[in-house]
Amino acid sequence: MLRQKAVVLWLVGLSGSGKSTLARSLERALHERGFLTYLLDGDNLRAGLNNNLGFSEEDRRENIRRAAEAARLLLEGGLVTICSFISPTEAVRETARAVIGADDFLEVFVNASLETCEERDVKGLYAKARRGEIKEFTGVSAPFEAPQTPFLEVRTDQQDAEACTKRIMNALLPIVSQNR
């Protein structure tokens, strides 16, 4: 009925790398082309489904597991689901991939240098982490493992959001347009 191939586009990267900006831009671009999408990110999940989770390592893993379960349900409903989560380790991304299914999981590494991410930090989270006010902050006091074999990597510290969106759309459209 929707005349689109449902997939989950999983955007990963450091806080401030541009994941949310690209997710919103992709959502608009897909809607303009008549695709039905849904955007999942930390803000909309932590306001409801995950409002009982904190930021411990265990809670972060559970946050991603629940996000993947929600994305799988949207996938089964035929939607192109755009997920924007730091997803700092290969293990947590592998959990998401296993829940969703490898064939429908398209990982996009939204890459920017730590320095760029810190410059973009409007909430001051990196500064708080560097002062020790935030424990286990990814990129400062907690590790971030770059994806080894993502579907696509975009460098938001080298290209603007429009160019990165275009790159992702060029890779994504042939896949989601299969039923058109």
Would you name the residues annotated as active-site residues? 87
Q: Output the pLDDT for position 115.
A: 95
Q: Which two tokens stand for residue 134?
A: 């935030």
Q: Does some domain include residue 2?
A: no
For the chain of 180 residues, list the mean pLDDT of each consecutive stretch of 10. 92 96 98 96 81 79 93 97 96 96 98 96 91 90 94 98 98 90
The residues, any chain, with a CB within 8 Å of residue 79's CB and separated by 6 or more, are 2, 6, 36, 37, 38
Q: How far apart are CA 158 and CA 149, in angstroms?
A: 20
What's the predicted TM-score (pTM) here? Answer: 0.94
Determine the structural domain holding residue 122 and report its residue range: 8-176
Q: Does some domain include residue 38?
A: yes
C-alpha distances (whole Å) from 125 to each of 34, 102, 117, 133, 153 are: 37, 33, 10, 9, 24
C-alpha distances (whole Å) from 117 to each of 15, 17, 43, 141 are: 7, 5, 18, 15
Over residues 135-171, the pLDDT tens digits come to 888 999 889 999 999 999 999 999 999 999 999 999 9
Q: Output the pLDDT for position 12.
A: 98
CATH number at 105 reads 3.40.50.300
**Long-range own/partner contacts, residues 131-136 (CB < 8 A, 24 or more apart):** 136/55, 136/56, 136/57
Q: Output the pLDDT for position 1.
A: 77
Q: Are 49 and 66 contacting, i.e. CB atoms less than 8 angstroms apart?
A: yes
For 159, which DSSP code?
S
Q: Where are the beta strands (DSSP E) in the chain?
A: 8-12, 37-41, 80-84, 105-111, 152-155
Total domains present in the chain: 1
Amino acid code (one letter) for 25: S
Q: Output the pLDDT for position 57.
A: 78
Mean predicted lDDT score pLDDT of the chain: 93
